[in-house]
Amino acid sequence: MLDIKNLHVKADNKEILRGVNLNVGKGEIHVILGPNGSGKSTLMNVILGHPKYEITGGEIFFEGEDLTALKTFERARRGIFLSFQNPEEIPGITVENMLRTAKQAVTGTKIKILQFHKELLALMKELQISPEYASRYMNVGFSGGEKKRNEILQLLVLNPKLALLDETDSGLDVDAVEIVSQGVAKFHNENNSCIIITHNAQILKHLPVNRAHIFLNGQIVKSGGAELVSEVSERGYAPFEVES
C-alpha cells in the first residue's frame, strides 16, 4: 500500500531524513519507535506533502502511484490520513462543519446534513466526546487529550485507507489511551493499514501489530516484530544507537 524508498528530506537546509525505507502492506499495522527529534513527524508530514519539506532524494508510492507530484488534499483524497501530533486550532470553523466538508471532499459526494449529524454524534459518544463539541470551533480551547480524541473522531468519520497516527497517545491518561486504542481498533480491518508512532505499548493493546521499526537520526535502523516495542520500553534506544 505504502512504499517509501531511500527517502531524503531537507528543511531549512538541514537534512532531517537520511534514506528512509519503509513498506507497509494492505491490512498491516506498523509501529515506529524513536527518540524525540529523530524525524518521525517529518516523515508523516512528508507523506502528506507538507510544503515546508523538500525531498532531495528517494520516492514515495501509494497504491503504486507516485505521491510526490500530488498536493496535500489530493493525497488525502487518495485515502491517506494523519492524526497530528499537535492538531491545529482553527477559530470560527466548527468540528461538525469541517468534518462534513472534509467528508464531502474525500468521498466526492454530497453528504446529507441530518444524517451526518446523527452519525457524528454516535461516533462522538463512542469516543466519549460530549455532543456540544460538534458545534465548537476546531480544537479551540480543547485540552491536549480532547484534541487527540478529536483526531480519532476524524479518522473514523473519514475512514481512510492508510492512517498515520503521530503520538496520538502522548500526554493522555490511561483511560483516554484506552479510548483511542479502541477507536483505532474499530477503524482497522484487512483492507486498511496503520502506521503508529508511539513511545508506549498501551495504545497497541487492541491492535495486531505486524512490524515495528526503530527510528534514529532520520533513518530506520532496525525492523522487527512487535517484540521490539517491549525491548525499547525496557532498554531505551541506546542499544540500537550502537547497532546503527
Ligand X SMILES: Nc1ncnc2c1ncn2[C@@H]1O[C@H](COP(=O)(O)OP(=O)(O)O)[C@@H](O)[C@H]1O
Measured from the CB of residue 87, what is the shortest distance to Mg ion in angstroms? Answer: 13
Chosen residue from 17, 24, 102, 177 binding other proteins by CB under 8 A = 102
Residues 5-44 close enough to bind Mg ion by CB under 5 A: 41
Measured from the CB of residue 39, what is the shortest distance to ligand X in angstroms? Answer: 4
What cell numbers appear for 107 in the block?
468521498
Tracing cell 508510492 back to the chain, one arrives at: 61
Would you say how long the chain is, in residues? 244
Q: Which is nearer to other proteins, 55 or 201 (CB)?
A: 55
- Check binding of 193 to Mg ion (CB under 5 A): no
Q: Which is nearer to other proteins, 24 or 76 (CB)?
A: 76
Chosen residue from 18, 21, 61, 98 binding other proteins by CB under 8 A = 98
- Check binding of 90 to other proteins (CB under 8 A): yes
- Check binding of 168 to Mg ion (CB under 5 A): no
Binding stretches for ligand X (CB under 6 A): 11-12, 14, 16, 34, 36-42, 52
Q: Which is nearer to other proteins, 64 or 108 (CB)?
A: 108
Q: Site map for other proteins, 47-76, x if CB under 8 A?
A: -x-xx-------------------xxxx-x
Measured from the CB of residue 116, what is the shortest distance to other proteins in angstroms? Answer: 15
Amino acid present at 39: G
